Amino acid sequence: MPSWYPNKKYASGSFFKEQAAFLNTHGFEVKVLMAEELHTKSYVFQKLKRVFQGKHNSLSTDFLIQKPEAYSFPVIIQKSWSDEKKLNEMDKAYLTAFKRLIKKLHWFPDIIHIQSMYKYGVSSYLIAEVYNIPLVVIEHSPFKLKRYKKVYQERIKKIFEISRKIAGVSHFHKACLSMVNTNKDVEVVWNLMDERMFSYPTYLKSDDLFIITTILRASSVKDPITFFDAILKFMELYDRARPLEVHVVGLSSLDELTKMKDIDENFISKYEKLHHILKFHSWLDRDNIKKLHQKSSVFVSTSIDEPYGVAVREAMLCGLPVISTRSGGPEDTITEDVGVLVEIGDVESIAMNLQAIYDRTLHFNAKQLRNRVISQSGRNAFLKRMEEFYDT
Last residue of a domain, one of 189, 224, 240: 189
267 band by pLDDT with thresholds 50, 70 and 90: confident
Question: Is 228 in the same domain as 165?
Answer: no
- For residue 356, the model assigns a pLDDT of 97
Q: Is the peptide bond before 68 cis (omega within 30 degrees of 0)?
A: yes
268 in a domain, yes or no? yes
In a domain, 1, yes or no: no
**Residue 207 DSSP SS3:** coil
Same domain, 56 and 106: yes
Nearest to 320 by CA among 235, 230, 198, 233: 198
Residue range 285-319, pLDDT digits in tens: 999 999 999 999 999 999 999 999 999 999 999 99
> The domain containing residue 25 runs over which residues?
14-189
Q: Residues 226, 367: one domain?
A: yes
**CA–CA dist 351, 346 (Å, integer):** 9
Do 39 and 99 fall within a single domain? yes
Residue 196 lies inside a defined structural domain of this protein: no
CATH of the domain at 246: 3.40.50.2000
Q: Helices in the chain by DSSP H: which ranges? A: 14-24, 43-52, 83-105, 121-131, 150-162, 171-178, 224-237, 286-295, 310-317, 347-359, 366-377, 379-389
Residue 2 has a pLDDT of 97
- Residue 134 inside a domain? The answer is yes
- Amino acid letter, residue 134: P
Q: Same domain for 133 and 272?
A: no
Task: State mean pLDDT over 209-233.
Answer: 95
Torsion sign, CA atoms 350, 354, 356, 362: positive
Residue 3 lies inside a defined structural domain of this protein: no
Asked whether residue 310 is assigned to any structural domain, the reply reads yes
pLDDT at position 196, please? 95
Specify if 47 maps to a domain: yes
Q: Are 25 and 138 in the same domain?
A: yes
Same domain for 234 and 153? Answer: no
> In terms of domains, do 307 and 236 share one?
yes
Is a pLDDT exceeding 90 seen at residue 211? yes
Return d(Cα 101, Cα 207) in angstroms, integer. Answer: 57
Residue 51 has pLDDT above 90, yes or no: no
Q: CA Rg, the chain, in Å?
A: 23
Say if residue 365 is in the same domain as residue 238.
yes
Contact 304, 329 (CB under 8 A): no
What whole-number distance in Å separates Cα of residue 389 and Cα of residue 19? 14
pLDDT digits (tens, 9 = 90+) for 24-46: 999 999 999 999 999 888 888 88
Please report whether residue 361 resides in a domain.
yes
User: What average pLDDT does the structure give for the chain?
Assistant: 94
How far, rounded to the nearest angstrom, does the alpha carbon of residue 260 sit from its chain's CA centroid? 21
Based on the fold, state whether residues 121 and 175 are members of the same structural domain. yes
**What was the pLDDT predicted at 84?**
95
Percent above pLDDT 70 for the chain: 99
| Structural domains of the chain, count | 2
* Start-to-end C-alpha separation, the chain: 18
Cα–Cα distance, 389 to 369 (Å, whole number) = 26
- Indicate the burial class of 108 (C-beta count within 10 angstroms; 0-12, 13-18, 19 or more): exposed
Q: What is the mean pLDDT of residues 77-101?
A: 95
Instruction: State the angle between helix axes of 83-105 and 121-131 in degrees (0 to 180), rounded to the nearest 10.
Output: 50
Report yes or no: 86 and 111 within 8 Å, Cβ to Cβ.
no
**Do residues 123 and 270 share a domain?**
no
Model pLDDT for residues 131-170, shown as the tens digit of each residue? 999 999 999 998 889 999 999 999 999 999 999 999 999 9
